[in-house]
Amino acid sequence: MTPPQKAEKDKAADVLARTIYGEARGELVRGKEAVASVIMNRVRRAVERGGYWWGATPETVCLRPYQFSCWNENDPNRAKIEGVGRDNRNFQSCLRIARRALAGTLKDPTGGSTHYHAKSATPPWARNRTPAADIGNHRFYNTIE
């Protein structure tokens, strides 16, 4: 792998890991894997369809405005994901999961879901929908377009 390819792959893993950390750092490994799977499912769907509004790479999917609240400017998690260091054990776990997701070796526990929300809230898009999976503190959906 050439240095630019490695740098690009490292950046993708870092953004993906920070998203996992911001969205699911309080979850067990399976919950973190589920969030990573949603991101990769969005990428896969975009590639299959020749593009999609939320982006076609893990970075564009993660950083698309208002898709993952941890990246929103006023979200309290934003400072946490920007400030966490690689010496943080929880972040190290997120980074390992991100690398597996990018390598295509992460098993998807969500049944192909592209959306999720915390169980403590039901956003309008989830009303009258049946979740594909309940994992940790989140509900996952594979029928949302």
Asked, for residue 139, whether it belongs to a domain, the answer is no
Q: Which amino acid type is present at position 104? A: G
Is the confidence at residue 138, as pLDDT, over 80? yes
Asked, for residue 82, whether it belongs to a domain, the answer is yes
Q: Which amino acid type is present at position 99? A: R
CA 101 and chain centroid, separation: 10
pLDDT at residue 5, rounded to an integer: 64
Whole-number Å distance between alpha carbons of 108 and 143? 16
The range of the structural domain enclosing residue 72 comes to: 3-109
- The confidence band for 6, taking pLDDT boundaries of 50, 70 and 90, is low
Asked, for residue 10, whether it belongs to a domain, the answer is yes
Asked, for residue 79, whether it belongs to a domain, the answer is yes
Q: Convert the pLDDT of each residue in 46-105 to its tens digit.
A: 888 877 778 889 999 999 999 999 999 999 999 999 999 999 999 999 999 999 999 999
Task: Indicate the pairing of strand 115-118 with strand 138-141.
Answer: antiparallel
Asked, for residue 78, whether it belongs to a domain, the answer is yes
Domain count, the chain: 1
Asked, for residue 137, whether it belongs to a domain, the answer is no
